[in-house]
């Protein structure tokens, strides 16, 4: 028994000595340090910014006269119109998918009116339509100054209202349906992009980093300048709808000597009428670079009086595509470029049009 006690005591002693040695040989833990602070860059690296709406922008930035611009006026609420009666529920069919699916739309609760013409509404997902937003009615003015709403289109062979595709959305209502945006017309975020990261930024440097400034490319996303080919006739036609016809071929564009659209136009501080030219008199803008010259703007930027969309837009080629090089097709109302020399220039610059 005595031997057993001695053996147990010896084993316990050995274990204790081993543990003490192990503890003494451990690398001491580093002393605690205060947590490192890093700049708040979450906002500037935000890859999924959301829209915050014009009213949020206006809490810091004032937009004098912007509500008078054609941009802002391109989409208006129903309250901007005096209708001849109360319009309520109508049945509309899916014109975008060209099928027989139908749903009911309350016109009095529509989103608004695009270009004083089309009543725009959001179609419930449960209706199964191909798109989300549609032209569900067409506004026209009565002789007494009131407005009426008629069908935007009719189902072929019937008198049923067709909900027409709102393909104009990307330019006329670029924030519509985007995350966080309450805006339906062209506002700050249409050109600057979604502003949530900008609003959340805490320093001037971060705010600048989160707010892209518009360039000519921003303008040309909607104001396309290139001519197109008429799919029916094959003719090369000026892009009347978008407003910057043929700027592609202007020396202002091809030489790279000016800041594109933003040399003559501005996107802030419109004049009292909502104009976005940098000077009231266009000749004064020309004189900024062409001192001593007195241009006839109506000659070098000729108008298309036969625009099928009723947009009277100035040619921005600055004589690279003179009016004499074009001819109005009485059937299509398109302005067709007919001069062989000009056509050759266009086809070399845009070879896909020559196919």
Instruction: Encode pLDDT of 120-152 as tens digits.
Output: 999 999 999 999 999 999 999 999 999 999 999
Note the pLDDT of residue 16.
43
Note the pLDDT of residue 117.
93
Note the pLDDT of residue 17.
44
For the chain, the domains span 54-70+175-213, 75-172, 220-354
Q: Measured between alpha carbons, how far is 309 from 334 in angstroms, rounded to an integer?
A: 10
Note the pLDDT of residue 307.
63
Residues of the chain with pLDDT under 70: 1-47, 305-312
Q: Measured between alpha carbons, how far is 23 from 19 in angstroms, rounded to an integer?
A: 6
Note the pLDDT of residue 163.
95
Q: How far is CA 170 from CA 133, 134, 186, in A?
A: 11, 13, 10
Note the pLDDT of residue 282.
87
Note the pLDDT of residue 308.
58
């Amino acid at each position: 028994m005595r031997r057993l006690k001695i053996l147990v005591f010896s084993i316990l002693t050995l274990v204790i000595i081993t543990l003490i040695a192990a503890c003494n040989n451990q690398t001491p833990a580093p002393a605690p340090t205060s947590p490192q602070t890093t700049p708040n860059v979450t906002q500037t690296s935000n890859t999924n910014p959301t829209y915050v709406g014009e009213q949020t922008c206006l809490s810091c930035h004032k937009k004098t006269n912007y509500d008078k611009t054609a941009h802002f006026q391109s989409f208006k609420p129903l309250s901007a119109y005096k209708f001849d009666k109360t319009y309520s529920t109508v049945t509309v069919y899916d014109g975008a998918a060209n099928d027989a699916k139908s749903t009911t739309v309350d016109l009095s609760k529509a989103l608004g009116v695009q270009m004083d013409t089309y009543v725009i509404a959001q179609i419930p997902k449960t209706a199964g339509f191909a798109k989300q937003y549609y032209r569900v009615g067409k506004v026209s003015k009565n002789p007494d100054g009131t407005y009426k709403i008629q069908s935007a289109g009719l189902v072929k062979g019937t008198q049923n209202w067709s909900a027409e595709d709102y393909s104009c959305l990307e330019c006329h209502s670029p924030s519509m349906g985007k995350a966080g945006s309450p805006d339906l017309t062209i506002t700050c975020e249409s050109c600057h992009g979604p502003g949530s990261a900008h609003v959340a930024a805490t320093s001037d440097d971060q705010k600048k980093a989160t707010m892209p400034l518009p360039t000519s490319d921003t303008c040309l996303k909607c104001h396309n300048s290139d001519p197109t080919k008429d799919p029916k006739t094959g003719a090369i036609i000026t892009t009347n709808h978008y407003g910057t016809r043929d700027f592609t071929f202007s020396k202002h564009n091809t030489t790279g000597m000016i800041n594109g659209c933003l040399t003559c136009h501005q996107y802030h501080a419109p004049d009292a009428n909502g104009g976005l030219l940098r000077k009231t008199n266009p000749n004064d803008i020309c004189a900024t670079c062409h001192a001593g010259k007195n241009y006839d703007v109506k000659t070098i930027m000729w108008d298309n009086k036969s625009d099928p969309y009723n947009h009277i837009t100035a040619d921005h080629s600055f004589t690279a595509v003179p009016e004499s090089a074009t001819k109005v097709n009485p059937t299509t109302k398109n302005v067709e470029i007919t001069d062989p020399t000009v056509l050759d220039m266009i086809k070399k610059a845009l070879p896909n049009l020559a196919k």
